[in-house]
Amino acid sequence: MSPHAARKGRVRRSAAVGIPLAVIAALTVAGTATGQPTHGSHKEARVTGTATLGDIPLGAFSNALLPGTVENDRGVDLGGIGSDLYPAGREGEFWTVTDRGPNGQIKVDSKKRRTFPVPGFDPAIVKIRVRGDKVKVVSALPITTSSGKPVTGLPNQEGRDEAPYSYDAKTPVPYDANGLDTEGIVRASDGTFWLIDEYGPSLIHVSARGRVIKRYVPRGLQLRGADYPVAEALPGVLLHRKTNRGFEGLALLPGGDLVMAVQSPLSLPDEDAGDDSRTARLLRFSPKKDAVTAEYAYRFDPVGVVDPGEDDTSELKISSVVAVGRDRLLVQERTDKAARLQTVSLDRRANILGSKWDQATTQPSLEQLDDSAASGVPVLGKRLVVDLGTVDGVPGKIEGVARVDGRTLALINDNDFGMSDGPEAFDKNGRLVDSEVETSVTYVRLPRKY
């Protein structure tokens, strides 16, 4: 029997209230070890180690942070921390952030409904330690409002966000103006955190204790009722983000500026144009100026290049951006099955902020251009660093990338809390049928500096 099968065969502990984090960390068990490099040639990128997060009941984890938030975790374990990865200072330690919590889709009358099996779950900042083949939770911070209440991961606005439903898609769940679909994370020199969110999309400044200091949203969003300050400081064109495809990548440049990546091309002028487009957008934000200072056009490679055999352009996404110099980034292009890392330089001459390409009324839109550069758009240049799809041992759905040194990267996958879509995701008793996809951190050694 495999170690995973042994874990899944155990009798689960019930979700107790107020379990200390030290106890939660002790629940983490060993995962699958990766020993020697998988490639014989040291001239190729290769996996040098893999560590896995063991089973931690989601109710126990959540209620240790904010007692009483989760009444029934439906057998779901802590997961979804693969949205991003940021070095925490000590070797093998990283900051991560959960996404909005367990969620899936079920078709009802030929229409997909978004399900939230654990609606009380509160997104959290999680510090992990990688040692050998284990990933352990060192500490965690619940993300809370100004008054200390959970932000939750529920959608904000009816008519704009997907309607939330119970685990079986039968019962509506209330919207929450405070809700955040958190994705990227960095930690500033003052100890505060910056996060990004898919709903707004938004940039969120969070205190060292997890309280939202301010949420920056696109102009015209008109988010009402949030229990924290909201500033309409982002370009209004972002209101056209594709559903469930807002900000996904976040980088902290050495000078203190932030770079945010929109996961997919905007739906301009409509969803079909966004689905067919290969042009996404990056934004530069200055915390000192409290404002966006630049916007850039980023061009995906054809989907069949990123993921051989895939022909659906809408599957292309940016899930991670990492600072590797004063104005240089690693940008991850991916589908759920493959990923490639490119380097780009943020050339001032490529800034389209305030130009016609930053306007939702421009026709044809930036997203509609077959060849952006030929149409006069200053598209960012890029260079391929590594095709992770060719590296044995790299799991699917890599969303977080962290720089370990000039030749080593740490990758983390998003296991979606072990959930899958469809009515079969839960058994007749409303308990999760686990997908058996685990959260893992994978180290990759590159043949040369990037």
Backbone angles phi, psi at 406, to 5 degrees: -65, -15
What per-residue confidence (pLDDT) applies to 22?
52
Domain with 244, as residue range(s), is 240-380
What per-residue confidence (pLDDT) applies to 96?
98
Q: Is residue 255 part of a domain?
A: yes
Q: Is residue 296 part of a domain?
A: yes
Q: Are 148 and 133 in contact (CB under 8 A)?
A: no
Nearest of 252, 359, 358 to residue 297 by alpha carbon: 358
How distant, in Å, are the alpha carbons of 22, 196, 251, 400 from that of 254?
Answer: 33, 19, 10, 19
How distant, in Å, are the alpha carbons of 78, 118, 208, 402, 427 from that of 152?
Answer: 15, 10, 18, 26, 25
> How many Å apart are CA 274 and CA 14, to the nearest integer?
44
Q: Are 33 and 133 in contact (CB under 8 A)?
A: yes
Q: Are 215 and 228 in contact (CB under 8 A)?
A: yes
Q: Is residue 395 part of a domain?
A: no
Which amino acid appears at position 229 of this protein?
A: P
> How many Å apart are CA 315 and CA 198, to the nearest integer?
16
> How many Å apart are CA 309 and CA 130, to the nearest integer?
34
Q: What is the mean pLDDT of each run of 10 residues along the chain (450 residues)?
A: 37 37 46 36 82 97 97 96 95 97 96 97 98 97 97 97 97 98 97 98 98 98 97 98 95 97 97 97 98 98 96 96 95 94 96 97 96 91 95 94 96 96 96 96 94
What per-residue confidence (pLDDT) applies to 9?
36
Q: Is residue 247 part of a domain?
A: yes
Q: Is residue 117 part of a domain?
A: no
First-residue to last-residue Cα distance in the chain: 41
Q: Is residue 281 part of a domain?
A: yes
What per-residue confidence (pLDDT) applies to 16?
33
Q: Is residue 33 part of a domain?
A: no
Q: Are 15 and 57 in contact (CB under 8 A)?
A: yes
Say how many C-beta atoms besides its own lie within 10 A of residue 61's C-beta. Answer: 24
What is the per-residue DSSP string for 304-330?
Answer: HHHSTT---GGG-EEEEEEE-SSSEEE
Q: Is residue 290 part of a domain?
A: yes
Residue that is written with structure tokens 């099996």 in the block: 117
Coil, strand or helix at 348:
helix
What per-residue confidence (pLDDT) applies to 368?
97
What per-residue confidence (pLDDT) applies to 374?
87
Backbone angles phi, psi at 165, to 5 degrees: -135, 165
What per-residue confidence (pLDDT) applies to 35?
32
Split into its structural domains, the chain has a count of 1
Q: pTM, whole model, 2 decimals?
A: 0.90
